[in-house]
């Protein structure tokens, strides 16, 4: 198939392009920068330069590419200031709202048969009831004030994509990425915070994190492109785990000192309400639906071994 990939040069794009090409697909990768054409060509894609926030540029790029499938992997996360969460995600939120609209409009104009978009499973679920959530469970009706805009942008993207009745709209709610090119890799922001003992367990550390190796994310995306049906899928590993479990285990793995433990009020002082929620309250996600419907399973079923790979 001919595939238009928005976000082709990022951590995900770099994993995804070679896998799509190996599966026999032709990939047109989008970037804002002329200088990154060569990166895309080395990965096996052809490159198109366009800004995702400009409707005309996106429309023209997609029209020229004439794809059968569009994949939306646009984010601009960079370094996150947890106390100013929505501010840190402001540009990503625009990519998830305006960027989604532009890609959908461009895809509709050329009649793409599938539209696959990136979403997130690791913190948006409601923080009530069971600890492991499926796609049928509600998203958080009362997120921390500093996360509202980001959750609204996620909801917007999911509703727009699954509501596009002229195509097979597929939303992949990825777990927290780790592995090459992510902030959870040697030299990455979060690993280095753990090494420097700047990533404490807050309160009871009962917040449940769902992780995903970036290579597994790419493989699930290929599966969705090839055989996904309209809907939302949690793409996470098999081992959702509380912070109090994974954080000390990862510190051990990195040869770092054991993480500090701080009470909630100290966590709130340094990381705000969002930090406390992420450490003590979020729920994990189940990948049963993705395994059944996409015929995918993670090669790194648990972060326990995956972090070492
Ligand atoms: N599920 C997760 O845990 C998750 C999800 C996303 C990101 N992350 C992590 O967050 C960290 C930083 O990621 P990042 O968001 O900075 O992503 P990134 O890996 O740099 O990728 C961002 C992609 O979006 C494209 N892009 C951004 N704005 C664009 C625009 N206006 N027009 C066209 N393309 C645009 C970039 O293309 P050009 O720069 O070439 O224009 C690039 O291909 C990484 O560690 C990543 O793993 C984690």
Q: Is 89 in the pocket of ligand 1 (CB under 6 A)?
A: no
Q: How high is the pLDDT of residue 137?
A: 98
Higher pLDDT, 186 or 169: 169
Nearest 5°: the CA angle 164, 165, 171 is 50
Residue 230 in tokens:
């309209």
- 64 CA distance to ligand 1 centroid (A)? 23
Q: How high is the pLDDT of residue 75?
A: 98
- pLDDT digits 0-9 by tens, 16-53: 999 999 999 999 999 999 999 999 999 999 999 999 99
- As a whole number, the mean pLDDT across the chain is 97
Q: Is 75 in the pocket of ligand 1 (CB under 6 A)?
A: yes
Question: Which residue has a Cα nearest atom 36 of ligand 1?
Answer: 7
- 152 CA distance to ligand 1 centroid (A)? 19
Q: Is 183 in the pocket of ligand 1 (CB under 6 A)?
A: yes
Q: How high is the pLDDT of residue 87?
A: 97
Question: Which residue has a Cα nearest atom 28 of ligand 1?
Answer: 76
- Give 302's DSSP letter: -
Q: How high is the pLDDT of residue 309?
A: 77
For residues 167-178, average pLDDT: 98
Tell me how far apart the alpha carbons of residues 223 and 4 are, in angstroms, rounded to a whole number: 16
Q: How high is the pLDDT of residue 28?
A: 98
Q: How high is the pLDDT of residue 306?
A: 93
Residue 181 in tokens:
């090119």
- 36 CA distance to ligand 1 centroid (A)? 14
The model's confidence at residue 308, banded by pLDDT at 50, 70 and 90, is confident
Whether 127 has a pLDDT exceeding 80, the answer reads: yes
CA distance readout (Å), 71 to 59, 120, 188, 282: 14, 15, 26, 28
Q: What is the CA radius of gyration of the chain?
A: 19
3-state secondary structure of 298: coil
Q: Is 119 in the pocket of ligand 1 (CB under 6 A)?
A: no
For residues 291-301, average pLDDT: 98
Contact 43, 15 (CB under 8 A): no
Out of 45, 51, 52, 75, mutate this one to test ligand 1's pocket (max ligand atoms within 8 Å of CB): namely: 75
Helices (H), the chain: 11-22, 37-43, 55-65, 85-88, 90-110, 148-162, 189-195, 214-227, 243-253, 264-280, 288-294, 303-306
Q: Is 263 in the pocket of ligand 1 (CB under 6 A)?
A: no
Q: Is 19 in the pocket of ligand 1 (CB under 6 A)?
A: no
Tally of CB atoms within 10 A around 42: 10
User: Which helix (H) or strand (E) is 168 found in, with range?
Assistant: strand 168-174
User: Which helix (H) or strand (E) is 2 found in, with range?
Assistant: strand 2-6
Using left for φ > 0, alpha for ψ between -120 and 50, and beta otherwise, residue 81 falls in beta
**Of 182, 246, 186, 250, nearest to 210 (Cα)?**
246
Q: How high is the pLDDT of residue 49?
A: 98
Out of 4, 10, 88, mutate this one to test ligand 1's pocket (max ligand atoms within 8 Å of CB): namely: 10
Tell me how far apart the alpha carbons of residues 120 and 135 are, in angstroms, rounded to a whole number: 11
Question: Which residue has a Cα nearest atom 6 of ligand 1?
Answer: 75
For residues 146-168, average pLDDT: 98
Dihedral angle sign, alpha carbons of residues 52, 96, 8, 110:
negative
For residues 134-163, average pLDDT: 98
Q: Is 10 in the pocket of ligand 1 (CB under 6 A)?
A: yes
- 10 CA distance to ligand 1 centroid (A)? 5
| Of 2-6, 133-137, 180-184, 282-286, the least confident | 180-184
Atom of ligand 1 nearest to the CA of 51: 32
- pLDDT digits 0-9 by tens, 223-275: 999 999 999 999 999 999 999 999 999 999 999 999 999 999 999 999 999 99
Tell me how far apart the alpha carbons of residues 115 and 228 are, in angstroms, rounded to a whole number: 10
- Distant-in-sequence, close-in-space partners of 194: CB < 8 Å, separation ≥ 6: 247, 250, 251, 254, 256, 259
Residue 184 in tokens:
């959870």
Atom of ligand 1 nearest to the CA of 184: 45
- pLDDT digits 0-9 by tens, 43-96: 999 999 999 999 999 999 999 999 999 999 999 998 899 999 999 999 999 999
Whether 145 has a pLDDT exceeding 80, the answer reads: yes
Contact 43, 17 (CB under 8 A): yes
Contact 240, 209 (CB under 8 A): yes
Q: Is 210 in the pocket of ligand 1 (CB under 6 A)?
A: no
């Amino acid at each position: 198939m001919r595939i238009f990939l928005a976000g082709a040069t990022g951590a995900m794009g770099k994993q995804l392009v070679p896998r799509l090409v190996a599966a026999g697909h032709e990939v047109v990768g989008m970037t804002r920068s002329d200088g990154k054409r060569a990166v895309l060509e080395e990965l096996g894609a052809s490159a198109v330069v366009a800004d995702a926030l400009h409707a005309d540029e996106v429309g023209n790029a997609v029209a020229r590419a004439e794809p059968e499938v569009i994949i939306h992997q646009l984010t601009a996360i960079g370094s996150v200031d947890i106390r100013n969460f929505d501010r840190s995600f402001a540009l990503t939120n625009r990519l998830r709202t305006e960027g989604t609209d532009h890609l959908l409009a461009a895809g509709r104009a050329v009649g793409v048969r599938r539209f696959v978009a990136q979403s997130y499973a690791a913190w948006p679920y409601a923080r009530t009831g069971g600890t492991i959530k499926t796609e049928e469970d509600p998203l958080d009706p009362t997120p921390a004030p500093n996360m509202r805009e980001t959750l609204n942008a996620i909801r917007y993207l999911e509703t727009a994509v699954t509501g596009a009745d002229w195509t097979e709209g597929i939303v992949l709610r990825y777990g927290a990425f780790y592995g090459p090119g992510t902030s959870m890799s040697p030299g990455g922001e979060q690993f280095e915070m753990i090494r420097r003992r700047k990533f404490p367990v807050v309160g009871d550390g009962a917040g449940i994190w769902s992780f995903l190796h970036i290579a597994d994310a790419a493989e699930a995306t290929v599966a969705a492109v090839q055989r996904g049906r309209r809907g939302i899928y949690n793409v996470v590993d098999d081992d959702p785990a509380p912070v109090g479990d994974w954080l000390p285990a990862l510190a051990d793995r990195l040869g770092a000192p054991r993480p500090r433990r701080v009470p909630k009020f100290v966590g709130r002082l340094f990381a705000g309400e969002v930090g406390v929620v992420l450490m003590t309250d979020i729920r994990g996600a189940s990948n049963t639906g993705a395994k059944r419907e996409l015929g995918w399973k993670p090669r790194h079923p648990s972060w326990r071994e995956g972090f070492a790979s």
